[in-house]
Amino acid sequence: MIDDILDRMTLEEQVSLLAGADFWTTVPIERLGVPKIKVTDGPNGARGAGSLVAGVNAACFPVAIALGATWNSALVERMGVALAGQAKSKGAAVLLAPTVNIHRSGLNGRNFECYSEDPMLTAALAVAYIQGVQSQGVAATIKHFAGNESEIERQTMSSDIDERALREIYLPPFEQAVKRAGVMAVMSSYNRLNGTYTSEHPWLLTKVLRDEWGFDGIVMSDWFGSHSTVATVNAGLDLEMPGPTRDRGEKLVKAVRNGEVKPETVRAAAGRILTLLERVGAFENTPDLTEHASDLPEDRALIRQLGAEGAVLLKNDGILPLQKPGLGHVAVIGPNAAEARVMGGGSAQIAAHYKISPLEGIRASLSNANSIRYAAGCRNNRLINVFSGEMRVEYFKGQNLTGSPVAAEPANKGEFFWFDLPSPELDPSDFSARMTAFYTPTESGEYIFGMTNAGLAKLYVDGRLLVNGYDGWTRGDNYFGTANVEQRQGVHLEAGQQYQIVVEYCSSATVEEGINLTAVRFGVEKPLGEADMAEAVETARAADIALLFVGRDGQWDTEGLDLPDMRLPGRQEELIERVSAVNANTVVVLQTGGPIEMPWLDKVKAVLQMWYPGQELGNAVADVLFGDAEPGGRLPQTFPKRLADNSAITHDAAIYPGKDGHVRYAEGVFVGYRHHDTRGIEPLFPFGFGLGYTRFSWGEGQVSTTEMEPDGITVTVDLTNVGDRAGSELVQLYVRPLAATVERPDKELRAFAKLRLAPGERGRASLLVKPRDLSYFDMETKAFRAAAGRYQLLLAANATDIRSAITIENPREWIGKTSDRFI
């Protein structure tokens, strides 16, 4: 059927398939019965065509690092199935997920959106996620291919990575997604790879992806990530997104006529687009692109289960789980206590069905809610709290707010991110809008108004220009680098008095290379000071237990900018110090998208890392704290003692964050625990670490043979739950070469198994090690090579806790081609 359609297409029609119709849909060809399909952002939900801050509600699942912490492929596959249902509820046939870039620095703004520092763990979870999504007839899109481990200058930066590091660390998740999961789509990254944009990189997109790995799906650009006509098509980029086209259309037709692009190249790319439509069933059933909210009880239960399964207990001096009977007075303190920080920022954002804060979850879990006292203590938000309340928005043609509005609509949040405008008469590059709202403070005092805008804007309070986001506007660090740095201004407000807030916005007249967006965000807050800190301390002093909720939020952990350091922002470290000084039973609950430094660690009784676990945050937290569920997580990323211990952090800016448009991955394959183990640098918490609420005894590891065979070696170990409650234990298998002709990591993760056992129950973990698991990528032969000789198979509870070491022999050198189908 595909060839028949292609035969009947004109060149112009074939070309039309190679760019989006708009922000979210492909181009249809009605005369040939070719429908259009919709794509939707993931990976922790399915947003649909709504903006990043609005749209139809959707189920909000845990972020990827929280999934990485589960080490539970079966559960992640179940999430993939659920997400496919969510995508269908938004009329979408393609989910733009999963994200499988590697945790390199710990400062990457999208660290939360990626699974792990380890390619094997990343690949295992990505394969499960893809298989779940695609089992329901929805295409998954693995991203970002490749070398996108930082958000700094991400649209132009060249990630300079040698081929060995690429083959061993950064490409395996993509390789396994193709070879094991049959992923239907790949998204190229914004950055350049060794000097060439990935969207026009023939070695990456054609030689490696298609010729070596056998990928037969589509390659699409990241949004606005295509920079050329001829180079992208010839390199293997099938679909330019979003539409309408900038680089294709008549430009590509002309390039074919001029002989710069072969007609068969266009036909092959168009054929892959048609094949995608066929695979998602678009020819059989015309896609219904309408959107609706789908809030299913089974999704709620799965999100809650995933939240607990990914929770990592980092420290426990016997205080957890808390016993509800006789618990006494509980102080719930911190900037993340009453706020539900359920997801990171950027394109992963969705409009969640609901968000349960830790305070709400704890109150629901305890029968005596009167025993709970709450105090914030301090703030941790990077931007001023967004305005919340009724407002009216009027839209005008042109950029001067003149004439009668062509559209008007109500809103209840002071953040607007326009993918689609409310009237077809409005031009996204030539419109203006006026937002009118009223604010009545409950306390008198100094308030701060803040605004950031992609485009130009001014904020007035009772007719007075207070925040000027117009004069001297320059690009800053918000909205993927398209908006200015937040402008702030303080003003005294009286309690009970109503103030009119007017924001006047106009789209920018200047269109720059790269992403161009229209957005504005404004807010108001009363700063917290010493009195609020003192209130939190006194609340803790009067309590039997202090539960301290600290960390970051989606303004810090976000696409578009990297973190400044690994410290808790604001006065949170001071809050921990002062609370723990007056209450010996202090439990810290962290919410971050990656590692942090913990100078206060020795002063608290317990530390629980919850990440951003989705809409059931508060319930999952309460489940773990009170023992209704165990903390099932293990770290998917090393937590260094200090930022300087990370392999990417040196005195050379060219290694991180980059210099003169290049960031050099000088550490090679020594990323994460590979760096700490091999260089002898003790971590704060090692890769794979996590405590539980029960105890396990381990037997000695056994192997099916002590000589590597073509089909591999099976390794088994028996575990027994010797505690008094059910729990899970994670068995990690590392390979250590005992002799090597090239520098290799001390050990590398090659398999894992997670067992859940009842008290007294015995179980067996079975793991398979194959010849490639002994190998490294040989730069001379351009193949994976396992030298003959001795290797150790290490069974471990984490990267520094080895329980068994078994020596095996590789009797003869093994060479694995990059095109081998079985890996």
Domains in the chain, number: 4
Mean pLDDT of 633-652: 97
pLDDT top residue among 369 and 487: 487
Asked if residue 369 is part of any domain, the answer here is: yes
The average confidence (pLDDT) of the chain is 96
What digits encode the pLDDT tens for the residues 424-454?
999 888 999 999 999 999 999 999 999 999 9
Q: Rounded CA gap, 198 and 231, in Å?
A: 11
Q: Which residue has the tokens 């699409």?
A: 220
pLDDT at 51 over 90: no
* pLDDT interval class at 512 (50, 70, 90): low
Mean pLDDT, residues 153-160 taken together: 96
Task: Provide the pLDDT confidence category of residue 368 given band limits of 50, 70 and 90.
Answer: confident
Give the pLDDT band of residue 815 (cuts 50, 70, 90).
Answer: very high
Is pLDDT above 80 for 50? no
pLDDT, residue 510, reads 61
Mean pLDDT of 190-201: 98
Q: Over the stretch 656-709, which tens digit does the pLDDT of each residue have? A: 999 999 999 999 999 999 999 999 999 999 999 999 999 999 999 999 999 999
Other beta carbons within 10 angstroms of residue 531's beta carbon come to 7
Same domain, 371 and 395: no
CATH of the domain at 450: 2.60.120.260
Same domain, 350 and 431: no
Average pLDDT for residues 328-335, to the nearest whole number? 97
- 214 and 156 fall within a common domain: yes
Would you give the DSSP letter of residue 180? T
Mean pLDDT calculated for residue range 176-200:
98
User: Could you tell me if residue 452 is inside a domain?
Assistant: yes
At 741 the pLDDT is 87
End-to-end CA distance of the chain: 33
What's the pLDDT band for 511 if we cut at 50, 70, 90? low
User: Please, what sign has the CA dihedral across residues 132, 135, 139, 141?
Assistant: positive
Same domain, 573 and 514: no
pTM of the model: 0.96
Q: What percent of the chain has pLDDT over 90?
A: 93
Catalytic residue flag (residue 222): yes
Is residue 212 a part of any domain in this protein? yes
CATH at residue 657? 3.40.50.1700
Q: Do residues 719 and 750 share a domain?
A: yes
Residue 514 has pLDDT above 70, yes or no: no
Mean pLDDT computed over 18-32: 96
Question: How far is 630 from 47, CA to CA, in rounded Å?
Answer: 31
> Is 51 within a domain?
yes
- Shared-domain flag, residues 426 and 496: yes
Exposed (0-12), middle (13-18) or buried (19+): which is 378, by Cβ within 10 Å? buried
pLDDT tens digits for range 209-230: 999 999 999 999 999 999 999 9
Distance from C-alpha of 243 to C-alpha of 507, rounded to nearest angstrom: 19
Single residue among 525, 553, 587 that ends a domain in this structure = 525
Other C-beta atoms closer than 10 Å to the C-beta of 242 total 19
Is 371 within 8 Å of 547 (Cβ atoms)?
Answer: no
467, 495, 525 - which closes a domain = 525
Q: What is the pLDDT of residues 287-324, one digit of tens each?
A: 899 999 999 999 999 999 999 999 999 999 999 999 99
Q: What domain range is 559 assigned to?
A: 310-382+530-664
Per-residue model confidence as pLDDT tens digits over 448-506: 999 999 999 999 999 999 999 999 999 898 988 889 999 999 999 999 999 999 999 99
Domain boundary among 259, 279, 299: 279
Same-domain check for residues 502 and 550: no
CA within 13 Å, CB half, 817: 7
Q: What are the tokens at 724?
A: 């008094």
What does the alpha-carbon distance between residue 640 and residue 595 come to, in Å, rounded to a whole number? 7
Residue 45 above 80 pLDDT? yes
Q: CA 41, CA 173: separation in Å to the nearest integer?
A: 20
Contact 171, 159 (CB under 8 A): no
In the numeric block, the tokens 């001014």 are attached to 458
User: Token pair for residue 542?
Assistant: 């009067």
Same domain, 749 and 775: yes
d(CA 333, CA 571): 13
Question: Per-residue pLDDT for 372 more than 90?
Answer: yes
Q: Quote the pLDDT of residue 605.
A: 98
pLDDT in tens, 378-391: 999 999 999 999 99
Q: Are residues 611 and 596 in the same domain?
A: yes
Give per-residue pLDDT as tens, 113-141: 999 999 999 999 999 999 999 999 999 99
Q: What Cα–Cα distance (Å) separates residue 787 from each residue in 524, 670, 739, 740?
A: 63, 20, 9, 8
Tell me, yes or no, whether 251 lies in a domain: no
Which candidate in 118, 160, 222, 746 is catalytic? 222
Is residue 420 domain-shared with residue 478, that is, in the same domain?
yes
| 615 is a domain residue | yes
Whether residue 74 has pLDDT greater than 90: yes
Q: Assess whether pLDDT exceeds 80 at residue 710.
A: yes
Q: Assign residue 128 the CATH number of its domain.
A: 3.20.20.300
In CATH, what number is assigned to the domain containing residue 768? 2.60.40.10
Judge whether 290 lies within some domain: no
pLDDT at 133: 98
d(CA 201, CA 391): 47
Whether residue 472 sits in one domain with residue 566 = no
Q: How far is CA 68 from CA 77, 111, 126, 138, 310, in A?
A: 12, 11, 10, 22, 7
* Per-residue confidence (pLDDT) for residue 351, from 0 to 100: 92
What's the gap between Cα 88 and its chain centre?
A: 21
The Cα 147–Cα 192 span in angstroms is 8
- CB burial class (10 A; 0-12, 13-18, 19+) of residue 139? buried
Condensed to tens digits (0 to 9), the pLDDT of residues 755-795 reads 999 999 999 999 999 999 999 999 999 999 999 999 999 99
- 16 occurs within a structural domain: no
What is the pLDDT at residue 417? 87
Q: Are residues 210 and 327 in the same domain?
A: no
